[in-house]
Amino acid sequence: MEEYIYAQQLIRATGGYSMEQHFGEIPYLGTTGTDLTQLYDLTHTLQVDFDVRIFNEKLGIYKDETNENIIDDTNTSIYDGSKTDRVSLTTEEFIDNISADQIVSLGKYTSLYSDFNRITNTYFGYADGFASIYDESGAADINSGVFTPSNLIDILSEKYYDISQNYTYKLNGNIQINELTNILTFLYEKNPFDNRSDQTREYGFVAGDRILVSSGITISLDLTIYNADYIETPLYNNSTLLKHTVNAPLLLTLQNLS
- Summarize pLDDT for 139-192 with one digit per residue, the tens: 455 777 789 999 999 999 988 888 888 888 889 899 998 888 888 888 988 898
pLDDT at 37 over 50: yes
Q: pLDDT at position 164, please?
A: 85
Domain range list for the chain: 8-255
Q: Is the per-residue pLDDT at 127 higher than 90?
A: no
Specify the pairing of strand 8-18 against strand 172-178: antiparallel
What secondary structure does DSSP assign to the chain, as a single string? ------SEEEEEEEEEEESS-----PPB-S-SS--SEEEE--TT-EEEEEEHHHHHHHTT-EE-TTSSSEEE-TT-S-STTSS--EEEEEHHHHHTT--GGGEEE-GGGGGHHHHHHHHHHHHHT--S-SGGGS-GGG----GGG---HHHHHHHHT-EEE-TT--EEES-EEEEEEE-HHHHHHHHHHH-TTS--SS--GGG---TT-EEEEEEEEEEEEEEEE---TT-SS-SS-SEEEEEEEEEEEEEEEEE---
Of the segments 13-17, 105-109, 144-148, which one has the largest average pLDDT value?
105-109
Listed range (9-13, 40-44, 120-124, 230-234) with the worst mean pLDDT: 230-234
- For residue 93, what pLDDT is reported? 95
What is the pLDDT, as a whole number, of residue 39? 72
pLDDT confidence bin for 13, thresholds 50/70/90: confident
pLDDT value, residue 156: 93
Residue 30, pLDDT score: 37
Residue 245 pLDDT exceeds 50 = yes
Query: Is the CB of residue 22 less than 8 Å from the CB of residue 220?
Result: no
pLDDT at 21 over 50: no
Q: What is the pLDDT of residue 62?
A: 94
Distance CA 244, CA 148 (A): 18
* pLDDT reported for residue 26: 36
Q: How far apart are CA 43 and CA 50, in angstroms?
A: 19
Arithmetic mean of pLDDT over the chain = 79
How confident is the model over 75-102, as pLDDT tens digits? 777 765 555 678 899 999 999 999 999 9
Instruction: State the Cα–Cα distance between residues 62 and 72, nearest whole angstrom.
Output: 5
Q: Do residues 91 and 176 touch, judged by C-beta distance below 8 A? A: no
What does the pLDDT read at residue 40?
77
pLDDT of residue 28: 34
Each residue's pLDDT tens digit, 215-243: 999 998 877 766 555 455 555 555 656 78
Displacement of CA 226 from its chain's centroid (Å): 32
- Give residue 6's pLDDT: 53
Please tell me the distance from the alpha carbon of residue 38 to that of residue 182, in angstroms, as a whole number: 14
pTM: 0.78
**pLDDT of amino acid 198:** 83
Q: Identify the burial level of 21 via C-beta atoms within 10 angstroms of its C-beta, where 0-12 means exposed, 13-18 middle and 19 or more buried.
A: exposed
